[in-house]
């Protein structure tokens, strides 16, 4: 199975959701990207439709925005 991608920015809401997602779908099935540390990937995230973090992009390309930690605009700063 193609991996899901979990985008976050280190916020408490993000970390909590990350633990839940990893526990539910397995660490081997998800690539975790910290947009605060990898700012060059913010553009990729926006292109696939991520508007806030934490967000999970499924193998089929759907974006699941999970709870609300920060907007993608906030992550740019």
Q: 6: alpha, beta or left, given left = phi > 0 and alpha = psi -120 to 50?
A: beta
Residues that bind its own copies (CB under 8 A): 4, 16-17, 20, 23-25, 29, 58-60, 62, 64-68
Rounded Cα distance, 77 and 74, in Å: 6
Cβ proximity to its own copies: between 23 and 77 the closer is: 23
Cβ proximity to its own copies: between 39 and 51 the closer is: 51
CB of 9 to its own copies, least distance (A): 17
CB of 4 to its own copies, least distance (A): 7
Q: What does the DSSP 8-state code read for residue 15?
A: H
What's the number of CA atoms in the CB half-sphere (13 Å) around residue 41? 14
Cβ proximity to its own copies: between 4 and 35 the closer is: 4
């Amino acid at each position: 199975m193609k991996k899901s991608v979990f985008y976050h920015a280190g916020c408490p809401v993000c970390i909590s959701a990350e633990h839940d997602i990893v526990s539910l779908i397995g660490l081997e099935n998800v690539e975790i990207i910290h947009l605060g540390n990898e700012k060059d990937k913010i553009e990729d995230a926006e292109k696939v439709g991520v508007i806030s973090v934490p967000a999970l992009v499924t193998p089929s390309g759907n974006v699941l925005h999970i709870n609300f930690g920060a907007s993608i605009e906030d992550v740019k700063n």
